[in-house]
């Protein structure tokens, strides 16, 4: 007679208990999220209580004179993100198209995997490389060159710095590029092959097929990738703090030092107390609100537009 096998239900919870356990963990997670939000709001409240709401748009950050203007940091965050995104959108999309359709199929998986892997490289490594390798190149070569070519725009006034708004934007661009490429590529390759073949049968060239069939079909997913990359650039802390120069003034040129909200928090956190500490938490709250808005917009774009691009995985 065979040995009696272990009964499946022996260690099992009854159905109620199992469901209860799942519900409790879910509630725990929800509570954690609420705690996170409430904690930051409560800690930022004293700043809003003493300074009102005007300090968010104040132009001067000078805690020793009681001035906590956040505008230079908000602008620095938006400007560095704008540089990164302006570079990453066309280049990322072009790279995704090349990876999805142009590269020989033998190299394709290798290149695609490499790009996806690079999305996992910690941002502090990008920052180290930017500070030690790229900054001297920017100071001695890139910035003088851009000044001589584009100096008339007025965007490149002042001395060549190395660490600058421009370098921060470029580092962010390199950092968000793998994300942008990986997600765009995923949505480009799921466009139905019948549509592509139909367009080709009508005599369209490869580019016409891409522009009139593939890109419109993948529009939502690309928009989602774009927004997620933007969110990543907005919230990046260390890579930016390492290469932006950290000066609390509104940048008057792409070559001048600036600061972002995350770099403000990291650099001033240690020595802050009282209103200043609360103002730093308030800066975190402002950043959080911007970040949540951008992210919700991304999710909403992907969810709401009917073409879900076959439910592409956007989480990273």
Within 107-136, the residues that bind other proteins by CB under 8 A are: 111, 113-118, 120-129, 131-133
Residue closer to other proteins (CB basis): 118 or 155: 118
- Residue 266 Cβ, how far from other proteins at the closest point, in Å? 6
- Residue 274 sits in the site that holds other proteins (CB under 8 A): no
Q: Which stretch binds other proteins (CB under 8 A): 50-58, 65-73, 154-162, 258-266?
A: 258-266
Alpha helices in the chain (DSSP H): 15-51, 71-97, 108-118, 123-129, 135-137, 143-150, 165-189, 193-201, 206-209, 215-217, 219-235, 238-243, 261-268, 274-304
- Residue 46 Cβ, how far from other proteins at the closest point, in Å? 13
Binding map of other proteins across residues 290-309, x = CB under 8 A, - = no contact = -xx-xxx-xx----------
- Residue 103 sits in the site that holds other proteins (CB under 8 A): yes
Distance CA 194, CA 191 (A): 9
- What are the tokens at 231? 């969110």
Among 70, 146, 244, 287, binds other proteins (CB under 8 A): 287
- Residue 145 sits in the site that holds other proteins (CB under 8 A): no
56's CB contacts (< 8 A; 6+ apart) are 70, 71, 74, 282, 286
- Residue 234 Cβ, how far from other proteins at the closest point, in Å? 7
Q: Which residue has the tokens 């709250």?
A: 285
CB 173 within 8 A of CB 83: yes
Residue closer to other proteins (CB basis): 154 or 293: 293
- Residue 97 sits in the site that holds other proteins (CB under 8 A): yes
Distance CA 160, CA 165 (A): 11
Closest CA to 230 of 313, 311, 293: 293
Residue closer to other proteins (CB basis): 23 or 150: 23
Distance CA 30, CA 185 (A): 33
Binding map of other proteins across residues 5-34, x = CB under 8 A, - = no contact = ---xx--xxxx-xxx-xxx-xx-xxx-xx-
Ranges within 62-81 binding other proteins (CB under 8 A): none
- Residue 26 Cβ, how far from other proteins at the closest point, in Å? 4
Ranges within 221-250 binding other proteins (CB under 8 A): 228, 231-232, 234-238, 241-242
Ranges within 170-199 binding other proteins (CB under 8 A): 174, 177-178, 181
Distance CA 134, CA 118 (A): 18
* Dihedral sign computed on CA atoms, order 82, 253, 173, 268: negative
- Residue 14 Cβ, how far from other proteins at the closest point, in Å? 7
- CB count, 10 Å around CB of 314? 18
- Residue 269 sits in the site that holds other proteins (CB under 8 A): yes
CA 23 to mean position of chain CA atoms: 32
């Amino acid at each position: 007679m065979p040995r009696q096998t272990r009964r499946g239900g022996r260690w099992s919870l009854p159905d109620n208990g199992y469901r209860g356990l799942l519900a409790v963990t879910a509630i725990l997670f929800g509570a954690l999220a609420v705690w996170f939000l409430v904690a930051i709001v409560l800690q930022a409240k004293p700043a809003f209580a003493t300074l009102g709401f005007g300090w968010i748009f104040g132009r001067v950050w000078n805690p020793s004179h009681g001035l906590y203007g956040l505008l230079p940091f908000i602008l620095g965050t938006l400007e560095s993100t704008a540089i990164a995104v302006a570079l990453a959108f066309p280049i990322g999309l072009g790279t995704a198209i090349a990876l999805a359709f142009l590269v020989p199929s033998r190299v394709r998986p290798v290149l695609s995997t490499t790009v996806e892997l690079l999305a996992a490289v910690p941002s502090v490594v990008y920052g180290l490389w930017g500070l030690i390798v790229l900054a001297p190149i920017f100071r001695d070569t890139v910035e003088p060159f851009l000044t001589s070519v584009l100096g008339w725009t007025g965007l490149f006034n002042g001395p060549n710095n190395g660490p600058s708004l421009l370098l921060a934007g470029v580092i962010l661009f390199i950092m968000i590029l793998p994300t942008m490429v990986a997600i765009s590529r995923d949505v480009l390759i799921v466009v139905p092959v019948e549509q592509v073949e139909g367009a080709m049968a009508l005599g369209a060239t490869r580019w016409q097929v891409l522009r009139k069939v593939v890109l419109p079909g993948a529009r939502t997913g690309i928009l989602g990738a774009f927004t997620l990359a933007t969110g990543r650039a907005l919230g990046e802390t260390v890579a930016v703090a390492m290469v932006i120069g950290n000066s609390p003034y509104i940048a008057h040129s792409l070559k001048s030092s600036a600061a972002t909200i995350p770099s403000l928090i990291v650099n001033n956190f240690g020595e802050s107390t009282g209103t200043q500490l609360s103002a730093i938490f308030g800066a975190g709250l402002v950043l959080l609100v911007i970040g949540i808005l951008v992210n919700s917009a991304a999710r909403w774009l992907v969810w709401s537009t009917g073409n879900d691009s076959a439910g592409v995985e956007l989480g990273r």
